[in-house]
Structure 1
Amino acid sequence: MGYAEDIFEQAKRTIAEHELASGDTPVLLMVSGGSDSTALAYLARDLRDAGEVGPIAMLHVNHQLRGDDADKDQAFVEKLAELLDIPLFSCEIDIAGEARRTGENVEAVARHERYLAANEALESLCLHGAAPLSDGRIFTAHTQDDRVENFYMRSIVGTGPGGFRSMLYRNGPIVRPLMDASRADLRAYLEERAESGLPTLRDESGDLWREDATNAHTDRFRAFVRHEIVARAKKRNPQLLDTLCRTMNLIADEDDMLDEQAAKIVERQVAWLETDEALGTDHSAGCVLSPEFGCEPVPLQRRACMEVLQLMLGADARVETASVESVLAGFAEGAPIGGYTNNIQGDLAVSANKRGVRIEPMAAYRARRKKA
């Protein structure tokens, strides 16, 4: 089992190099039944047995978007959890109905609901293991392929500071221990595992994983990038995944350095409007960027502003590039522009005077104006 051992060692190395987990870390596995997440389940069981991670559990979310196929995916994951003796959290969500109710994109709703379920399951896993929730991790099966696809997707639609690193190995509790492996690597691992005689699950068609037929539909953006762009780029450079991921890791190193500098600017130059020694800071109430903020290098201003808006809007919110530029437009030649106002993100007001540039909910801005 030389190849399979290589994949296992690679996962261990990725976890260690990026400090993704330790021997007592509770880990929730996101398992859809596709090749990547099925491989993740087998590898995580081995990682647990080797003492590389703590207690593990699996989560499967049935989005009810693919009829009988979705139900078969769920049944496959249930059998996989039983085979590996891993506790399973499973839920069914009418994603299409929720998308109609909210008016949001189906894929965005699916992602939101999936991670909402994951956080709830992780909380339960940590509670059962008497571990702080902050110690828990959510393992996803993102690979080099996913990272490269994200890179090209962002190249097409545009991205903000740090966007071309494409994916983080860790984003809060969410970690990606397979991001140094390709999808082909993981499929070869599954096939070698089956050939070796180790306990391995097959579906009713004899397949080692469940294939989502919608992955081939090029009218979906990611599938279009996967089949029309990445596939052609691989013909020019068969080592595209390794080459581009090395480049993205170089970008990530510089990105981390700039983020650290931007965080120091936020610490020095941003005053939050509502802070309490006992309750902490209410970021949603807004802040004031000091006049000195405008003297910082513009690239660092952008990153600092991005961090501020993310704190105000919440981790799951999308910070618009236009919003960042609108905030920075409140400064000119290193000083606030008195009388400058703007509306960003639909419900935030930006205003400037000699004391700095203020960002706050529109209701709070209007209440202040009314008093004045």
Structure 2
Amino acid sequence: MTSWRLTGLDTPVLLMVSGGSDSTALAYIAATLADAGALGPCALLHVHHHMRGAEADGDAQFAEALAELLGFPFFRCDIDVPQLAAEGHGNQEAVARRERYAAAQEALASFCRRLAVPVSEGRILTAHTADDRIENFYMRSIVGTGPGGFRSMRYRNGLVARPLLDLSRQQLRGYLEERARTGQPVARDEAGALWREDATNAHTDRFRAYVRHKMVPAAREWNPRLGEVMVRTMNQIADEDDMLEAMARKIAERCVEPLGEEPPAAVAAAVGVPVQERAFLLKPAFGEEPRPLQKRVLYQLLREMLPAEARVQSVSIDAVLAAFGLDGAPISGYVDNIQGNIAVSANKKGVRLEPMAVFRARRKRG
């Protein structure tokens, strides 16, 4: 955890614990570090998704027992994921992930208030492993990904830190078994198991489970050191991605102008668009930048303009780039409508990205 500077010695830490082997190992490791003065105060969060009936109840009981064993404050959050999905809030997997991280933000805020520490100084620790990272890599190779997607996971992303990304699930299970074998305190479920198993992880009709049980084992047959090689490769991709992101930010600073609080309140009321909708002007100089860096800048701008759950489409980025001619200059009169009902329009001043309703109202005003 310290090698990647994921936490400080006084950093309040919220551990997201499902009860599986990875998160159970994370809890023990965090407790060991905290006892040694190498990690700040810890609390444990378990989110009950109400998706697996009595098995999920057992997960919650195990997580609470683990928190009690380690002397950690325990937060439990109950979320009816099937109900939210049925109400049209997304598929169950997406809803579970979104609500789980929202619950973690709330629990961390509560824990930090108890300690009189700003929430910005806290961290949410997840138990993602090298196996999860490799699975993400293969999943993204199948469905496609945006800039930097093949780094697979970041060790830290905002308040969320992933300290176990260099370790395999097998290593963590070996750690749990060694802990029990040497007589160290361990939690067990009603069947005496050292961690909980989610039976749905074996259902290969689910995308991740298919990759986990079909694709990754086949790749390991060709290279038994797949985990080591893939982690090294993804970290190399991450280093290059960080460099390109820094270059893209400099281009954005030079060539992108936020259009402030457009649309004006009166226009927003007239067309039914919130005042806080983001809009941007790409200055003519943007057209002269290298194409890969242009795409990175546009990817970030569209992420800001689209709903959080939306995926930026490559055709949208291509449509914005098409507003610049072969000489890099904006093509006056160019207009297109891309995903999210975003208008792309060009004139000699540059290329504008704005909500379509605002574009139409602006054109109507002349």
TM-score w.r.t. structure 2 length?
A: 0.93
Question: What code does the residue aligned with 1:115 have?
Answer: Y
5+ unaligned residues in a row in structure 2: which ranges? 263-274
* Superposition pairs of residues 307-326 of structure 1, within 5 angstroms: 307-313=300-306, 317-326=310-319
1:155 to 141, 156, 160: 141
Aligned to 1:25, the other structure's residue is in SS state coil
**What displacement does 1:315 show?**
5.8
**What displacement does 1:97 show?**
0.9
1:87 aligns with 2:87: no
**What displacement does 1:298 show?**
0.1
The answer as to whether partners of 1:284 and 1:311 remain within 8 angstroms in 2 is: no
Deviations 1:177-196 (A, max 9, x none): 00010000000000000111
Tell me the distance in 1 between the aligned counterparts of 2:137 and 2:276. Answer: 31
2:11 to 3, 25, 50: 25
**What displacement does 1:169 show?**
0.7
1:270 to 232, 253, 256: 256
The answer as to whether partners of 1:287 and 1:359 remain within 8 angstroms in 2 is: yes
**What displacement does 1:316 show?**
5.6
1:331 aligns with 2:324: yes
The answer as to whether partners of 1:284 and 1:313 remain within 8 angstroms in 2 is: no
The answer as to whether partners of 1:122 and 1:138 remain within 8 angstroms in 2 is: yes
The answer as to whether partners of 2:335 and 2:343 remain within 8 angstroms in 1 is: yes
Structure 1 residue ranges, 4+ long, deviating more than 6 angstroms after superposition = none
Q: Which residue number in structure 2 is paired with residue 204 of structure 1?
A: 190
Q: Which residue number in structure 2 is paired with residue 352 of structure 1?
A: 346
Q: Which residue number in structure 1 is paired with residue 21 of structure 2?
A: 35
Question: What code does the residue aligned with 1:370 have?
Answer: K
**What displacement does 1:168 show?**
0.7
2:281 to 274, 285, 288: 288
1:216 aligns with 2:202: yes
Aligned to 1:351, the other structure's residue is in SS state strand
Tell me the distance in 1 between the aligned counterparts of 2:36 and 2:277. Answer: 43
Q: Which residue number in structure 1 is paired with residue 296 of structure 2?
A: 303
Question: What code does the residue aligned with 1:238 have?
Answer: P
1:49 aligns with 2:51: no
1:98 aligns with 2:84: yes
Identity of aligned residues (%): 61
5+ unaligned residues in a row in structure 1: which ranges? 1-14, 277-281
Question: What code does the residue aligned with 1:299 have?
Answer: P
**What displacement does 1:70 show?**
0.6
Question: What code does the residue aligned with 1:292 have?
Answer: A
Q: Which residue number in structure 2 is paired with residue 132 of structure 1?
A: 118
Q: Which range moved further: 311-320 or 21-30? A: 311-320
Tell me the distance in 2 between the aligned counterparts of 1:26 and 1:327. Answer: 43
Q: Which residue number in structure 2 is paired with residue 371 of structure 1?
A: 365
- Calculate the aligned-residue CA RMSD, in Å: 1.6
Deviations 1:233-284 (A, max 9, x none): 11211110011110111111111100000010111111001169xxxxx973
Deviations 1:73-131 (A, max 9, x none): 01110111111110111011110110111251110010001011011111111121121
Tell me the distance in 1 between the aligned counterparts of 2:37 and 2:261. Answer: 42
